[in-house]
Amino acid sequence: MRNKLIAGNWKMQGSLAENSALLQSVSAGAAILPTVSMAVMVPFPYLAQAQSILTGSRCAWGAQDVSEEPSGAFTGEVSVAMLLDMVCLYTIVGHSERRARHAETDARVAAKARAAIEGSIIPIICVGETLAEREAGHTLAVVHRQLDAVLACLGVHRLAQAVLAYEPVWAIGTGRSATPEQAQEVHAALRLRISNADWVVGAGLQILYGGSVKPSNALELMGLPDVDGALVGGASLVADDFMAIGRAAATA
């Protein structure tokens, strides 16, 4: 039986003043959801604030990206060691917004995942197809290609220390979530591919769904056999909505 994880992705949003109330609500809400893991992925400048408010709570915190390099002349990048300094448990890698806007390749995403794992940070590795790729019937080929790059770089056993997130690009921030059938099909295909390499890793890996998850669709999505939680963008900025998704995961 896999635990459910509900992870918020704040993206480039928030301010010291706004975050304070949100983090306190999430901290209080997580306390009454003992069966679900909760986490928030905040912008780098707010990691210290998240650490300060969430320490001792049932909600973990993490970053939205990390460098694959350990240190050096990489202006603007943030290393695994820096995230460890801020006591991050997780970091997202390979979010479609970074793949698209920063030309992150499958190989680079895989290297980031490897660096995170080697530094004892759990990468939440995002995969997902664009609308054009889905309409062309290439969904599984695309997510398999993205997953295979990670498997080639990490090896299947280290994947056991990661979380996978299926995030169809066309569902992110659009209000249009994947249907339960679409989500389950891709999650099952990803798990099967990993299970073919190592059954135990495949059976144990948390695979999150992301893309317009909200209180109204969370119960249905969280109840799917191969969906082990959610990566939540917009709804993670509204404490009541984020906690409603957490409750859906607890009851699904």
Q: Residues interacting with ligand PEP, by CB under 6 A?
A: 9, 11, 167, 172-173, 210-213, 231-235
Q: How far is the CB of 108 from ligand PEP (least distance, A)?
A: 18
Q: How far is the CB of 17 from ligand PEP (least distance, A)?
A: 22
Full DSSP string of the chain: -PPEEEEEE--S---HHHHHHHHHHHHHHHHT-TTEEEEEE--GGGHHHHHHHHTTSSEEEEES---SSSSSS-TT---HHHHHHTT--EEEE--HHHHHHS---HHHHHHHHHHHHHTT-EEEEEE---HHHHHTT-HHHHHHHHHHHHHHHH-HHHHTTSEEEE--GGGTTTS-PPPHHHHHHHHHHHHHHHHHH-HHHHHH--EEEESS--HHHHHHHHTSTT--EEEESGGGGSHHHHHHHHHHHHH-
Q: Is the CB of 22 or the CB of 201 nearer to ligand PEP?
A: 22
What CA–CA distance (Å, rounded) separates 109 from 99? 8
Q: Is the CB of 1 or the CB of 12 nearer to ligand PEP?
A: 12
Q: Is the CB of 146 or the CB of 156 nearer to ligand PEP?
A: 146
Q: How far is the CB of 192 from ligand PEP (least distance, A)?
A: 23
Q: How far is the CB of 69 from ligand PEP (least distance, A)?
A: 24
Residue nearest ligand PEP, CB atom distance: 233
Paired strand residues for 61: 40
Q: Which residues contact 107 (CB under 8 A, 6 or more apart)?
A: 149, 153
Report the catalytic residues: 95, 167
Q: Is the CB of 79 or the CB of 242 nearer to ligand PEP?
A: 242
Nearest to 66 by CA among 55, 74, 51, 77: 77
Q: How far is the CB of 8 from ligand PEP (least distance, A)?
A: 9
